[in-house]
Amino acid sequence: MTGAIFYATKSGATEGVAKYIARNIGAETINLDKDPNADLSKYDRVILGSGVYLHKVPKTVSDFATKYADLMPKVSLYLVCAFKDEEGDEQLQRISSELGVGYGVYFNNPRRMMGMEGSKLELFIEHLNNGK
């Protein structure tokens, strides 16, 4: 199975998570700002990662989701963001539905979750490794 994590980052947090997940599931990482024409369709398993700015994902991410709208239901999204609790849940729901992804999660402080059993990040990796 060939997997890829497509991501956009401004200050690096989303990239750090992309590399961490890639190491744990065996996938390529593709920075959408450097490679906006990357081809999603050649991968069996696709993850999309993004930071959130002023309630939105960067245009590279929304353009990518529009271009591959048909395939988005199979994509797992992670957001790296400042919002949490109810505000974080609402933001995730809205962005997931705008992008059309089949599954979504957000990480408020991903560095702290790395290697921490039962953390949202480790559960997300488990979810991906289970092939869901």
Stretch that binds ligand FMN, among 53-61, 62-70, 113-121, 122-130 (CB under 6 A): 53-61
Quick one: 53 or 73, whose CB is closer to ligand FMN?
53
Stretch that binds ligand FMN, among 3-11, 21-29, 40-48, 122-130 (CB under 6 A): 3-11
Q: What are the backbone angles phi and psi of residue 24, rounded to the nearest 5°?
A: -85, -20
Taking the C-alpha atoms of residue 113 and residue 123, their distance in angstroms, rounded to an integer, is 10
Bridge partners for 106 per DSSP: 79
Q: For residue 82, state whether it binds ligand FMN (rule: CB under 6 A).
A: yes
Kind and range of the H or E run holding 24: helix 13-25
Q: For residue 104, state whether it binds ligand FMN (rule: CB under 6 A).
A: no
Kindly tell me the number of DSSP H helices and DSSP E strands found in the chain. 5, 5
Query: Which residues lie near ligand FMN (CB under 6 A)?
Result: 9-14, 51-55, 80-83, 91
